[in-house]
């Protein structure tokens, strides 16, 4: 009996659940109740002050490109992107909460500009050995 795969996050605690509808999914942040530092993903300890009083929160879907680089060669290891490889932007996206998130940028690298408005996109990166769609995130121009 074959089982139908489901959608799973690329890393637990990184995306809000459920993963449907995709348009409603956001990145998850953790806000420290002691120092106010916001970190990406679900955390049990603050990376700034070490406190363990963290509150999970959804992060904004829109942000601005703070800085970026262009990846022109296929990354080493178990790269799951397009084959044949296509150069892509990798940017630091500043969200209104004050956190900067590193993510692929779904845009023509020649048209990327610091300060451009971006929006989160959750998408299927690949299908795993159990037929699950592994969902990743990137940002694209608004």
Taking alpha carbons only, the member of 18, 19, 45, 17 closest to residue 30 is 45
Residue 6 confidence (pLDDT): 92
CB 63 within 8 A of CB 101: yes
Q: How far apart are CA 21 and CA 127, in angstroms?
A: 19
How confident is the model at residue 1, as a pLDDT? 39
pLDDT at 83: 87
Instruction: Please state the pTM of the whole predicted model.
Output: 0.91
Work out whether strand 7-9 and strand 133-141 pair parallel, antiparallel, or are unpaired: parallel
Handedness of CA 79, 80, 83, 86 (dihedral sign): negative
Q: What pLDDT shows up at residue 63?
A: 98
The pLDDT score that the predictor gives to residue 9 is: 96
Q: How confident is the model at residue 3 (pLDDT cuts 50, 70, 90)?
A: low
């Amino acid at each position: 009996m074959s089982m139908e795969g489901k959608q799973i996050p690329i890393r637990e605690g990184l995306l809000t659940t459920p993963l449907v509808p995709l348009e409603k999914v956001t990145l998850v942040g953790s806000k420290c109740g002691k120092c106010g530092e916001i970190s990406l993903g679900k955390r049990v300890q603050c990376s700034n002050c070490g406190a363990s009083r963290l509150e999970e929160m959804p992060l904004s879907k829109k942000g601005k490109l703070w800085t970026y680089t262009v990846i022109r060669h296929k990354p080493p290891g178990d790269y799951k992107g397009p084959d044949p490889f296509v150069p892509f932007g990798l940017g630091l996206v500043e969200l209104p909460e004050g956190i900067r998130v590193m993510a692929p940028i779904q845009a023509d690298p020649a048209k990327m500009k610091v300060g451009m408005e971006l929006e989160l996109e959750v998408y299927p990166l690949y299908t795993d050995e159990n037929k699950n769609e592994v969902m990743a995130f990137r940002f694209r121009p608004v």
